[in-house]
Structure 1
């Protein structure tokens, strides 16, 4: 039987975190909090949520400040809970949290069995106080509005594997070495065998030429032109391929490092 999993970003509206958990009849909650959010107010709200959900399985997840860490965190939860129904609360935390949550849903909603992003509509606005922000700025939850999911295009598996290989080589690698590793990892269709292990020099040369051509058309050129994720040296031999800033962001979103 599928469990109901709940994801929310830590914010100051604590009731909009714990009330939807109960309304969705969830079995486990992941509360995502920023690494630097160690102020007493934030900790007070987390404690309040834990008390309200006493006896439930609550897992705090700590992320870095940037949006890419947030997206990757949601992706990792999706992968871990892929057999379950996942509710994603997009009404708590900062604006950046909500954007990251929705982007993660659009990018990775096909990983789990079912993903339900929603907005928790408050009953009414709370009274703000000048003394403390500990008190919620809203009161109660009137209802939960399910949000539509739209797909976002992103590099396919062989392209992502290429980015992973480049990143593992400190952000740059010789083109030939990249193609060899892609072949070894069965990412170049038609050239899944270890070309480097071929003993016949002529066959090895022919196979390598074909693999280079295939990888260029299917992986390297799209990463360079469409995704602007890599750059390539402009010289005839031993070209090196390097990650761009866009490439580094993609690595952080998909692999978390």
Structure 2
């Protein structure tokens, strides 16, 4: 496939069925499909479906690849989608939110909301013709129709905030403001223009441009004063966003 052509790339979590992955790819003329598979094969019974999908895609001459993720971890799935899209943002990506588990469906939908900056990340739902109770066989068959999912945006923090959270994380989730200011200035997260009262200017720049937005706008850090020292600590929300975006 040419790197200069805008390709139609599908992303689909692997579940206990194959039609829901293969048939939409054929109907929508996919150039390639990424299949999200569990990173621990011993804990899934989906291998036979993966083998069937590969065989059918080869027959249709649709290129495919696999991405290993933890299918039980929301953030792992979101990050998996993000990493695929980041490989070439010039392509069009169609994300199948119907082929895997509920966790994977939520994660794929969230990924489309978070990383659709180029308006090239489109979620869809493949509605099968028939449903069955899972008894070691495919849970559904056929393809009735493909339903476009309404798209909404989830705002993501600027890179400077992610880099700051990384510094805090590397210091066991908590660092005093003075040392955070020093590290932020070293890494050019903040720029201090004044040479007069340099340390105070650096501290003020960190507080105004980084810490206060992280605390008040995003809720990713919290502050605590112990004696004369001010500490900045990452919150669970901050850890979660760092897990996805770092």
Question: Is the structural similarity TM-score above 0.5?
Answer: yes
CA distance in 2, matches of 1:240, 1:210: 18
8 Å contact from structure 2 (residues 97, 108) kept in 1 = yes
Matches within 5 A, 1:66-105: 66-105=73-112
CA distance in 1, matches of 2:44, 2:217: 45
Q: State the 1:13 CA deviation.
A: 2.2
**Does residue 1:59 correspond to 2:65, yes or no?**
yes
Matches within 5 A, 1:39-188: 39=43, 41-54=45-58, 55-64=61-70, 65-110=72-117, 112=118, 114-126=120-132, 128=133, 132-133=135-136, 135-188=137-190
Q: State the 1:213 CA deviation.
A: 1.5
**Among 19, 27, 42, the residue aligned to 1:38:** 42
Q: State the 1:38 CA deviation.
A: 3.2
CA distance in 2, matches of 1:85, 1:154: 21
Identify the residue that residue 224 of structure 2 maps to in structure 1: 233
Identify the residue that residue 234 of structure 2 maps to in structure 1: 243
Shift in alpha-carbon separation, 1:251–1:136, aligned structure 2, 3 A: same
Tell me, what secondary structure is at the counterpart of 1:233? strand
RMSD over aligned Cα atoms: 2.2
1:134-187 CA-partner distances (Å, limit 9, x unpaired): x22222112211112111123222212211222233323332222233233333
Greater CA drift, 45-54 or 240-249 = 240-249
Q: TM-score, normalised by structure 1?
A: 0.84
8 Å contact from structure 1 (residues 82, 113) kept in 2 = no
Q: State the 1:39 CA deviation.
A: 4.8
8 Å contact from structure 2 (residues 115, 121) kept in 1 = no
8 Å contact from structure 1 (residues 179, 212) kept in 2 = yes
Unaligned stretches of 5+ in structure 1? 194-202
Shift in alpha-carbon separation, 1:17–1:150, aligned structure 2, 3 A: same
Q: TM-score, normalised by structure 2?
A: 0.87
Q: State the 1:205 CA deviation.
A: 5.8
Identify the residue that residue 203 of structure 2 maps to in structure 1: 212
CA distance in 1, matches of 2:42, 2:90: 33
8 Å contact from structure 1 (residues 84, 113) kept in 2 = no
Unaligned stretches of 5+ in structure 2? none
Aligned residues: 239
